[in-house]
Amino acid sequence: MRELSEQEIIRREKIKNIKQPYPERYEINYELCDASELEDGVTDVRVAGRIILMRKMGKMSFLTIGDIKGKIQISVKLDMIGEEAYQEFKSNYDLGDFIGVSGEVFTTHTGEKTIRADSITFLGKALRPLPEKFHGVEDIETIYRERYLDLIMNDEAKMRFLFRSKFIREIRNYLDEAGYVEIETPILNNKASGATATPFTTHHKALDIDLYLRIAPETYLKRAIVGGFTKVFEIARCFRNEGIDATHLQDFTMIEGYCAYYNYEDNMKFLREMLQHIIMKLFGTLVITVGDREVDLSGEWESVSFRDLILRYSDIDIAVYNTKEKLLEKIKLDNIEIDSEVPLEALGYGNLVDQLYKKVARVHVVNPIFLTEHPTSLSPLARANDNDPSISDRFQLVINGAEIINAYSELVDPLEQERRLEEQAKLNALGDEEAMPMDSDYILAMESGMPPISGWGIGIDRVVQLLTNSKNIKDVILFPLMRPTNDVSQNEEN
């Protein structure tokens, strides 16, 4: 048990003096953000919120209550609420407490919209003092571990998470208007399929089998297409047991969508128009600032091949160094240091090309580009190009050095898919943890017949990070996973 501060001890004592410190409910008729827009003279306004500012005086006090969407000033006068209630307020109410207020709206001589309280009701005690208001919450560890304090104290944090909610809502609205149906697919899977990534494993006690947490919802969404859906999407929590950095977390939110009869070029147009529509609606402009860079999202977006983009920033031509052995030798010859959790020697050719691109080219991209012509071995679920089977009909949207969208024309030939998954399974057996295993159930679904399909995935966290100009992806995750503190670990052991 941690030692309580003097303030915490005092606040616990105050609870004893409050007649009903934790009431069951309080009926409001306005949200705080709406009450602050009311005309003067509106009476019987009932609101509730947390006390975030307070000036207690003799016979009249001012306080401000707030929530995630808004705040409003409250005027509390002795002759309006009565002496007993006023003294209870002065003696027992603290910053951080929740209260309900009823009264009339007016505007002070300083121009601040205010509710003149005719009654106040105590709704909940904050046993810990809030951080000092002037500085807010600045410690990064506290921000991530105690996000509620960040939300209480920092307006920027509130706006960032409200933006995230609005962005997801606008995507849903756009897809709904375009005829897409939102469905749900399993998080627990027998196979770690749907992407090339290292999975998390878990154990199902009732069935006594090991399972994988979902890497991506892809193969199940395509099963829905087999079943007769033509346009589907899912906002899916996904899990990949890989490294953490400013743009990667192991658990993240992705939206995937699939459309029958589309190819990847159809989706280039569809997704560009969708993002431009949403960003214009949310920002009123398609030119946004990210760090010290200005990113222009207007007009057509450049399309550039994997090969050409790598050649822009290195002298390595993947059409020449077209095997794993040749490419690895060239990387070593050019002294290119690639950080990879998997030894480079254990990677397949496609994943090695991907690591090279991330090292030498991706960081230089500012304005949006569609990166195309990925090696087929990097895209085991994508359709091979009809003219050059060594590359796939795939694109990634890259903005300001971050991969925002991954999309392709789907491979719908079950025999070719089975052959590719067999190759992936061999790489997996040799140590490439990101290679996909054989998924016989998915092949079985494909054998029932698939139409032409194009699908895509958008990393919600990453695009919100970009659009809110956030330095770290944890800044847009409400409650990111953190390593336990020593205190927490000791408590758990005890």
**Average pLDDT along the chain:** 92
How far apart, in Å, do the first and last CA atoms of the chain sit?
A: 11
**Cβ pair 217, 194 in contact under 8 A:** yes
Q: Which long-range contacts (CB under 8 A, 24 or more apart) does 48-51 make?
A: 48/98, 48/99, 48/100, 48/101, 48/123, 49/98, 49/99, 50/96, 50/97, 50/98, 50/126, 50/152, 51/93, 51/94, 51/95, 51/96, 51/97, 51/98, 51/99
Environment class of 129 (CB within 10 Å of its CB; exposed 0-12, middle 13-18, buried 19+): middle
Nearest-Å Rg of the Cα atoms of the chain is 28
| pLDDT of 196 strictly over 80 | no
Burial of 353 (C-beta count, 10 Å sphere; 0-12/13-18/19+) = buried
Tokens 């756009």 -> residue: 174
Average pLDDT of the segment spanning 144-153: 93
Q: What is the DSSP letter of 45?
A: E
What are the DSSP E strand ranges found in 324-401? 369-372, 394-399
Q: What is the pLDDT of residue 134?
A: 53
Q: What is the mean pLDDT of residues 112-125?
A: 96
Check residue 491 and give its pLDDT: 41
Please give the domain boundaries of the chain with CATH numbers for all domains: 6-130 (2.40.50.140), 155-476 (3.30.930.10)
Q: What is the pLDDT of residue 342?
A: 79
**Tens digits of per-residue pLDDT, 149-191?**
999 999 999 999 999 999 999 999 999 999 999 999 999 999 8
Tens digit of each residue's pLDDT (9 = 90 or more) over 432-486? 777 888 889 999 999 999 999 999 999 999 999 999 999 999 999 999 999 888 7
What is the rounded average pLDDT of the residues 32-42?
Answer: 97
The kind and range of the H/E element at 310 are helix 306-313
